[in-house]
Chain A
């Protein structure tokens, strides 16, 4: 429990007042953070002054951008999927409930890397095939002539048009959507039933009640796990390197085979991931505090 630290500190200070930290106080210092900081500083030093590290950093650093863009876009889509599917999970509509539950249970039972490969090489071709079929249908239906432009585009769509970055984002979003759906479901269900009833009895529609009454309250419950999942996304995005997307991990692999400098390569990759996730954690904590201290 991080909360217990300050009280221990105060208690020890009261017992032995003095300039030097007491043994009890030494125990409570965040040594691990100091070590992280020192390692970070030595890596920054290495990158700025040791040529082999400098070379590795210059080659790998562009992967930061790719990793970040893939994570943010996939997470954004996963949030949309999560909200829609989460609502499906608590829907009284049998079809919506079962579709949503099917997706959540199936996806959560499959390793993320398999989902990414599956989406990239199975679902994307299926969707493209579907688009082709739809385009063909439009083109061969005379009274849909006004849609022919769109029909031609759909019909000529090819699997090669979907680049690996797009597939990677689709795969991550599809995989994470199932987990975010459960976060939304739990958050919404944590709000008393009376809130929905009060909103409905004022004449609000289900969606108005969700948007103006339930979700603004649920966000307090939803935000912390969403934050954690975003950090998880930054890390799990490394899996898209199997699609040869040039993210941090992929550039690490390439740099290693290019230079055979294993230490430099993976130290740099690790350092860059850690900087992102530690900064991300700080941002998430800040956001949470902001929502907690806000109006209530």
Chain B
């Protein structure tokens, strides 16, 4: 299919004996929001990490925005600058202020002048609802605030694609909403997103397609209504029943 911004073709990834991904194929068009869910250990993180090449695939190919990232010698720094990633445990830089966390990559990677980087950072903080926290250090923030800063940090590079790996799994219930709100806004603005999560509310509000990944395989894939209302595979149904009671 042409017009895809992410193409994952027959990807296999092994860790010693563990088959983390088995013949996984997926596509995402620009502006699409893919919601990826499945049991723990199913390969969801590995899939995202292969897309921005934090992990190397064993077989198959991945093409992101026209770059075959699985090629030997692909320009990974450039790739990663176009692909934002948000982690379950935030991974903010604890020795830097919130503002520095957001501006550092613009200065070091994009080589933008400090003033411009800080201006962007302030705008993004406004956007994620934390304009007053620019001088705080990460340890002074709540979990939800940390994750919103992490999203702002990824957005500062002006990425074409955003990958979210269980962005709300480490958060207390009352903080999940503030992070999902930011993500829904982002989806509405047309960002291409791959979101690994179990927040079905987010899927309903913002996802275009859902992918059920288990044992390293894409078990089922379809629109939110399809998967939600009548999953074809028994395993998908069983898993949905489980997480929705």
- Chain A residues close to B by CB (< 8 Å): 192, 194-195, 197-205, 208, 212-213, 216-217, 295-296
Interchain nearest-CB distance for B52 vs A (Å):
6
Interchain nearest-CB distance for A295 vs B (Å):
7
Residue in contact with A208 in the complex, picked from B84, B93, B108, CB distance below 8 Å = B108
Is the CB–CB distance between A212 and B85 below 8 Å? no
A203-B80, A217-B94, A296-B94 provided; 16 other pairs, C-beta below 8 A? A194-B87, A195-B91, A197-B91, A198-B87, A200-B80, A201-B52, A201-B154, A202-B104, A202-B109, A204-B77, A212-B104, A212-B108, A213-B104, A295-B95, A295-B137, A296-B95
A-B pairs with lowest CB-CB distance, top 10: A203-B81, A198-B91, A202-B105, A194-B91, A201-B85, A203-B109, A203-B80, A216-B95, A203-B77, A217-B95
Is the CB–CB distance between A197 and B95 below 8 Å? no
What chain B residues lie within 8 Å of A199 (beta carbons)?
93
What chain B residues lie within 8 Å of A192 (beta carbons)?
91
CB-CB contacts below 8 Å: B79-134 with A: 80-85, 87, 89, 91-95, 104-105, 108-109
What chain A residues lie within 8 Å of B93 (beta carbons)?
195, 198-199, 213, 217
Contact of B232 with A by CB under 8 A? no
What chain A residues lie within 8 Å of B95 (beta carbons)?
216-217, 295-296
Interface secondary structure of B, over-half rule: mixed
CA distance A221 to B76 in the complex (A): 30
Interchain nearest-CB distance for A264 vs B (Å):
51
- Chain B residues close to A by CB (< 8 Å): 52, 54, 77-78, 80-85, 87, 89, 91-95, 104-105, 108-109, 137, 139, 150, 153-154, 157
What chain B residues lie within 8 Å of A197 (beta carbons)?
54, 87, 91
What chain A residues lie within 8 Å of B153 (beta carbons)?
202
CA distance A213 to B95 in the complex (A): 8
Interchain nearest-CB distance for A195 vs B (Å):
6
CA distance A217 to B92 in the complex (A): 12
Q: List 17 A-B contacts (CB under 8 A).
A: A192-B91, A194-B89, A197-B54, A198-B91, A201-B80, A201-B84, A202-B157, A203-B77, A203-B78, A203-B157, A204-B105, A205-B77, A208-B109, A213-B104, A217-B94, A296-B94, A296-B137
Interchain nearest-CB distance for A212 vs B (Å):
6
**Which chain B residue has the least Cβ–Cβ distance from A202?**
B105
CA distance A149 to B78 in the complex (A): 43
What chain A residues lie within 8 Å of B89 (beta carbons)?
194
CA distance A295 to B80 in the complex (A): 29
CA distance A132 to B96 in the complex (A): 50
CA distance A194 to B92 in the complex (A): 9
Is the CB–CB distance between B83 and A201 below 8 Å? yes
Interchain nearest-CB distance for B54 vs A (Å):
6
Given A194-B87, A194-B89, A197-B54, A203 and B105 contact (CB-CB distance below 8 Å) = yes
**Which chain A residue has the least Cβ–Cβ distance from B92?**
A198
CA distance A202 to B157 in the complex (A): 7
CA distance A134 to B222 in the complex (A): 67
CA distance A205 to B81 in the complex (A): 10
What chain A residues lie within 8 Å of B80 (beta carbons)?
200-203
Interchain nearest-CB distance for A54 vs B (Å):
52
Is the CB–CB distance between B109 and A204 below 8 Å? yes
**Which chain B residue has the least Cβ–Cβ distance from A197?**
B54
**Which chain B residue has the least Cβ–Cβ distance from A205?**
B77
Interchain nearest-CB distance for B100 vs A (Å):
10
**Which chain A residue has the least Cβ–Cβ distance from B150?**
A198
CA distance A197 to B86 in the complex (A): 11
**Which chain A residue has the least Cβ–Cβ distance from B76?**
A200
Residue in contact with A202 in the complex, picked from B78, B81, B94, B139, CB distance below 8 Å = B81
CA distance A212 to B82 in the complex (A): 20
Interchain nearest-CB distance for B162 vs A (Å):
11
**Which chain B residue has the least Cβ–Cβ distance from A218?**
B95
What chain B residues lie within 8 Å of A203 (beta carbons)?
77-78, 80-82, 105, 109, 157
**Which chain B residue has the least Cβ–Cβ distance from A208?**
B108
Is the CB–CB distance between B54 and A204 below 8 Å? no
Interchain nearest-CB distance for B200 vs A (Å):
26
CA distance A195 to B153 in the complex (A): 13
CA distance A217 to B94 in the complex (A): 8
CA distance A216 to B150 in the complex (A): 19
